[in-house]
Amino acid sequence: MRQINTSIIIWAVACVNEFARSHGLSPKAAFQYLFTYGGIDFLTEHYEAEHTLSLDDTIEDLGFVCRSKGGHL
């Protein structure tokens, strides 16, 4: 299993919280949605590129990834 450092975790939590806020979800519901539709994997796998973007761009990318895997938000 790949080790994830603290910086990635802190950034991913911020992304989940912002995704929740932008879609009117609780943080728990946002995490579940992102986990189910590949958003969490996307965040951890593409941290190096995504953390250099604005939070708005990352949230947009998360929406695209999740919709491509069957998500509806």
Mean pLDDT by 10 residues, the chain (73 residues): 80 97 98 98 95 97 98 93
Please provide residue 4's backbone torsions phi and psi, each rounded to the nearest 5 degrees. Answer: -110, 125
Nearest to 33 by CA among 73, 3, 5, 4: 73
Quote the pLDDT of residue 1: 52
Q: Which stretch of DSSP H or E encloses residue 44?
A: helix 39-45
Task: Give the three-class secondary structure for 24.
Answer: coil
Instruction: Kindly report the pTM of this predicted structure.
Output: 0.91
What 8-state DSSP symbol labels residue 47?
H
> Identity (one letter) of the amino acid at 11?
W
Amino acid letter, 39: G
Q: Rounded to the nearest 5°, which phi and psi values hold at 54?
A: -70, 160
